[in-house]
Amino acid sequence: MTRWSRFNIISVALGFAFLYLPIVLLVVFSFNESRLVTVWAGFSTKWYVALFNNQGLMDAAWVTIRVALLSATVATVLGTMAALSLVRFTRFRGRMLFSGMVYAPLVMPEVITGLSLLLLFVAIGFDRGFWTVTLAHITLTMCFVAVVVQSRLLSFDRSVEEAALDLGATPLRTFFEVTLPIIAPAVFSGWVLAFTLSLDDLVIASFTSGPGATTLPMKIYSQVRLGVTPEINAACTLLIALVTVGVIIASIVTKRRELQRQRDEHAAFAGR
Amino acid sequence: MTKLGSRIFSRLVIIVPYAWLLFFFLIPFVIVFRISLSTTAIAQPPYEPVFRLADGLAGIIDNIRQLSFDNFVWLTEDALYINAYLSSLKIAGISTFLTLLIAYPIAYGMAQAPRTWRPTLLMLVILPFWTSFLIRVYAWIAILKPEGLLNQLLISAGLINEPLIILNTNWAIYIGIVYSYLPFMILPIYSALEKMDHSLIEAAEDLGCPPISAFWKVTFPLSLAGVVAGCMLVFIPAVGEFVIPDLLGGSQTLMIGKTLWTEFNANRDWPVSAAVATVLLLILVVPIVFFQNMQAKAEERGK
């Protein structure tokens, strides 16, 4: 009896159909000739042309990309530090509170995070705009990076680090020359995750943004409320394409790295 | 580098993210709570009292006297808020249950798949999670509309004569939540099922246990940790969900995330929205702490 029974195949296939069909339909109708998004009237790329001529959307896209690049980079540094503290330092004052603060943002409803950050910025008199959105996104995404990097650190063979330390390397040098190269794939996928989360976020950005810093999701949201148009479908398709390419590159890089590491380990053992 | 230098390095690794989260995550909640005790004012910022260091100690004490729990009393007196909290919990509960029903067979099927396929299947579950939440919710509007794709399909198949009204009802919200949060439920269940020792099932079956009761007596209890983690990951954010009820729900849909948003953006009543957020946080504190303990335990086991 095979374990991969017909029931299992059907449930997985239906599950994937459910997950992907809405996205596929959205992409298909971005190439629709008609203004209606539910009636097919022939192939056309005119909505993409309209999209690139829409200055408002293009400006918003530029703001979003800058926020995402900056916040993902800072969040990766902070998140990696947080992961190191959680895994390497099992005892320090306030560790419970710290791990609580790392995990809570993962499930915290966005309206609460957004409102509380906005009230913080108002209380300290920080003008809302590009920087407040970036700070808010760093805070949210560093926790996701921390979880990704933490899971890699937990399966980490510490003997290589100990060897470096025994041979007289300083902890700082050990970190940059031994630890970081090994956890690099996890750090990189943490960065990609942070980037896409920032690219996506509507609620927190709406609360913390100010004049002149409208992000793409905010722009899409305000247009969706007026009605569904093929132009929005086109914008969404481009975003999906961007993210898909990013994820595929990330997974190829991770796989290559993993293979390289295995090859190096084999070579090291063979040389012994 | 000196020994002192490396000690500073390891201190910094803890202190920098710790300080960041204290300042940008914990202190904001203290501010939310403080503003929930204020009254609305036509000023900038639109609440009073505003604490200023320049007022001196007497001024601060005077300001503290002005704080009151009136906003919380107001929340209990106005049926709108109580109904919004209850209906959010109900909608999140039903959606979590529906997500579990749909996710379990998928996760089970994935865990039974040939070993070489599993990384690809896993990737396919994670991929939609990377595409925008807003876009995924938006995609359903065109499907669920009265003249939308689902109704066109059902009418042309001769299954219905009149279009089904799904958009702007609670059903649309259930579909939206199940769809958006499905990967969060599949992943923990899958990882619990994948680790399971299959010989246990074989042992049960060899001893004459029918497959269905073997599932309920062996497989399901072993996957319970994954089920609970998945339910937490869906239920907690779903209670405060804003985008899904706003885009798919109707005008009569009450959800607290939407109420908070309206209170803040349309009515510009900051103290009341801060009070709404405080109560929502108090409701969610129990499941959040529960979730964190589970995470901490999983982390312990990982060592």
For B124, the closest of A16, A79, A203 (CB atoms) is A16
Number of H helices, E strands in chain B: 16, 2
For B112, the closest of A4, A106, A200 (CB atoms) is A4
In order of start, what are the domains of chain A with their CATH numbers? 55-271 (1.10.3720.10)
Residues of chain A predicted below pLDDT 50: 1-2
Distance CA B47, CA B99 (A): 41
What single-letter amino acid sits at A242? L
Q: What is the pLDDT along chain B (303 residues), one digit of tens a residue?
A: 456 667 787 788 889 999 999 999 999 999 998 888 888 776 667 777 776 666 667 777 777 777 778 888 888 888 888 999 999 999 999 999 999 999 999 999 998 888 888 888 888 888 877 777 788 888 888 888 888 888 888 888 888 888 888 888 889 999 999 999 999 999 999 988 988 877 888 888 888 888 888 888 888 888 888 999 899 989 999 999 998 999 898 877 889 998 888 888 888 888 888 999 999 988 888 888 888 787 777 766 655
Distance CA B115, CA B127 (A): 20
> What would the two tokens of residue B104 be?
């379990």
Q: Are A110 and B240 in contact (CB under 8 A)?
A: yes
> What would the two tokens of residue B140 be?
């359903």
A77 CB neighbour count, 10 Å cutoff: 16
Q: Are A62 and A263 in contact (CB under 8 A)?
A: no
Closest chain A residue to the Cα of B13, Cα to Cα:
A81
Distance CA B282, CA B277 (A): 9
All residues of chain B having their beta carbon less than 8 Å from the beta carbon of residue A123 are 31, 45
Backbone angles phi, psi at A89, to 5 degrees: -115, 95
pLDDT of residue B222: 85
> What would the two tokens of residue B74 be?
């107001």
Burial of B104 (0-12, 13-18, 19+ CB in 10 A): buried
Work out the widest C-alpha separation in chain A, in whole angstroms: 71
pLDDT of residue B112: 87
pLDDT of residue B1: 46
The string of DSSP letters for B15-82 reads HHHHHHHIIIIIHHHHHHHHHHTSEE-SSSSSEE----GGGHHHHHHHHHHH--SHHHHHHHH-HHHH
Burial of A229 (0-12, 13-18, 19+ CB in 10 A): middle
For A170, the closest of B1, B114, B124 (CB atoms) is B1
> What residue segments make up the domains of chain B, in order of their start?
72-302
Q: Where are the beta strands (DSSP E) in chain B?
A: 39-40, 47-48
Fold of B72-302: MetI-like fold (1.10.3720)
Closest chain B residue to the Cα of A117, Cα to Cα:
B28
Distance CA B125, CA B129 (A): 8
| Subunit contact B299:A154, Cβ cutoff 8 A | yes
Number of H helices, E strands in chain A: 12, 0
| Prediction ipTM score | 0.84
pLDDT of residue A137: 96
All residues of chain A having their beta carbon less than 8 Å from the beta carbon of residue B32 are 112, 115-116, 119
Backbone angles phi, psi at B48, to 5 degrees: -145, 155
Task: Tell whether B251 is within 8 A of chain A (Cβ).
Answer: no
| Subunit contact B236:A16, Cβ cutoff 8 A | no
pLDDT of residue A37: 67
pLDDT of residue A2: 47
B208 CB neighbour count, 10 Å cutoff: 7
